[in-house]
Structures are given as C-alpha cells and as structure tokens.
Amino acid sequence: MDLNFSKSTDSEHKVKIDPILVSAFWSSVKAPAGGKAKFKIQTAFVGNNAPVKVSGKSENGVNLGTINGKIQNNLFRGKFDIPEDMEIGDQVYYEVSFPKNGLDGESERIPVVPIVRVNNMRWSASEARRGDRLTLTAFVDGVRDNEELVVTIYEYDRDDVHDKITELSTIVNDGRIEIEWEYQYYEDTDEIPTQEELNEYGGSYNPPEYFFTVKVEDEEFGLNQESEILKFKDNIEIEVIDENDEPLSNANYTIILADGIQKTGTLDENGSVLLEDIPPGKYEVSFPSLDKQGGKP
C-alpha cells in the first residue's frame, strides 16, 4: 500500500484517504460439499462498524447465500455452507461490497470437493504396557489413496491441556489408515499423584491416558477423543532379602497401590513377586507377619 504525501510542515493540511479492500480470500483451498468454506476479508480505512455484504456464488450458478456484517479492526470473517449435492469440481467464489464506502471486490475461485470424514478411530487395545506395539486405525472418506496424513498422539488431560507425545506420518490406502506405535513411558512414575496425595484436594487418581488425532490439511479430527482413551498399565517386581542376605520366602505382604487400592499376597520361595497390570505411580508395601515378630527385611 503506497501512501505518499508532499506537504509543507508549517501549515495545516487536509488529506483524503480512500478506503481500500486489501484482500478477499478463502481460508482453505477447497470447498467441501456438505461442509463449510471459511473466508477472511481485510480492509484499510473503511472504519470500524462499516457495513459489509458478502454474497457466495459458483461458476455453475449455485447461490450460497448472503452474509451481512460489520468490519472490526479492518477484518471480517465468515463461512458459507456448501450444499451436499453441489457438483464436484464446480468453482465457488464470493463478491464483497461496502455500501457506505463505495467499495467492492471479488475472491478467488476454489473447487468443490468431497467432504473429508475421519471415523471409526481405534486403538488395537484399551491398555498399554511398556514395549507394547499398538496399531492405530481409522477410516478416511474424501481423501485420495496414497495421500500422506499426520497422526498425532496426545497424553490426555482432564483440563483439556493435552500434551503432544509424537507425530507419525501415514498414507491412505483403500480409504483407510493403519500405523503402528511402540508404547514407552519416559517420565518418572513417582511424579504421578497418588490417591492419598489427591485426597487433600478432593481429587481422584488418574493414570497417564492417551488419544490420537488425524490431520487432513488444516483440519484435525479426533480432538474430542473419538479414538477413545488408551490407559497405561505398569508392573511391580518385589524381591526381599533379610539382614543375612537370605530371601524372605513365603512371607505375606500388603501393598497399597497408587490408586489407593490395597492388595495382599505371598512372596514365593525366592522372596519375590511380580505384580502385573497395576496402576502406575508410587506404592507402599509392608509385611504384617514381620511387624508382629519385630523382624525386618
């Protein structure tokens, strides 16, 4: 935008600045049939609350309707509903006018394409242990075979502040994607709040949980956990020896897990036990029989 003025500095001057339509463009390069096409209009010097009229059309004569609004901070955003029965390949555009500014213009054309839908997003299991290889699948409509998509795995947060774990590239094959991921937990499980610690705040224990999304161009599918939640399950291996370095064979134990659940059991002849598929986090273990006898491991 070139604004050039040549005036003296020792007197007052009046300068008329004409309103300008800086740009009228679509936010996407495609208009999905049955979906929405967003647009953005940028102006200069039309003034806040200046009325604007936007009329959507297509090369084949389809009327997308008219949107009336007001400019704020030189911007106006909106979207048109693209009829589901529009001909694929038709070109849509919009005309924009500013009735009080004597200004008008037209957007570029974008093609009507089949709407993209991602559904049936699934993990191959509902729980994961360290080293498990999981398969992530989803059906994808409206995307050509061999097109590359991005799968993002998030750690779920109840406050919706989800942490991105990793991004994986995959391609569409016969309207479907399938990709493998090896689960690992790299954080310290001691940092996972236990039920005992959360009781002070009225909270409840929550193990690390995950969901995934599929990104097609600028749209990310699955942000509402449509893939369902994958839960992390851990293992505990306990081995106990006495003060003489002998295994504490067949001793009874009590363990309080991170979720507050208490379990009891007996060590084997080697003084050990493996507890599988338990909630990750800190735990407390005691040996009641030793306490009664005044002994210690």
- Does the global pTM surpass 0.85? no
> How does pLDDT run across 145-204, given as a tens digit for each residue?
999 999 999 999 988 999 999 999 999 999 999 999 999 999 999 999 999 999 988 999
Residue 231: per-residue pLDDT = 97
> How does pLDDT run across 16-65, given as a tens digit for each residue?
778 999 999 999 899 999 999 999 999 999 999 999 999 999 999 999 99
Three-state secondary structure string covering the chain: CCCCCCCCCCCCCCCCCCCEEEEEEECCCCEEECCEEEEEEEEECCCCCCEEEEEEEECCCCEEEEEEEECECCEEEEEEECCCCCCCCCEEEEEEEECCCCEEEECCCEEEEECCEEEEEEECCCEECCCCEEEEEEEEECCCCCCEEEEEEEECCCCCCCEEEEEEEEECECCEEEEEEECCCCCCHHHCCCHHHHHHHCCCCCCCEEEEEEEECCEEECCCCCCCCEEECEEEEEECECCCCCECCCCEEEEECCCCCEEEEECCCCCEEEEEEECCCCCEEECHHHHHHCCCC
What CATH number matches the domain at 20-114, 2.60.40.1930, 1.10.3720.10, 3.40.640.10, 3.90.1150.10? 2.60.40.1930
Amino acid making up residue 124: S
Q: Give Cα 141 distance to the centre of its chain.
A: 20
Q: How confident is the model at residue 130 (pLDDT cuts 50, 70, 90)?
A: very high
User: N- to C-terminal Cα distance for the chain?
Assistant: 81
Least-confidence region, from 2-11, 37-46, 140-149, 283-292: 2-11
Provide CB contacts within 8 A for 25, sequence distance 6+.
39, 40, 107, 108
**Residue 113: exposure state from Cβ atoms within 10 A (0-12, 13-18, ≥19):** buried
Answer whether residue 232 shows pLDDT above 80: yes
CA distance 52 to 66: 10
The tokens of 91 are what?
């070109």
Residue 4: per-residue pLDDT = 60
Q: How confident is the model at residue 257 (pLDDT cuts 50, 70, 90)?
A: very high
CATH topology of domain 117-232: Immunoglobulin-like (2.60.40)
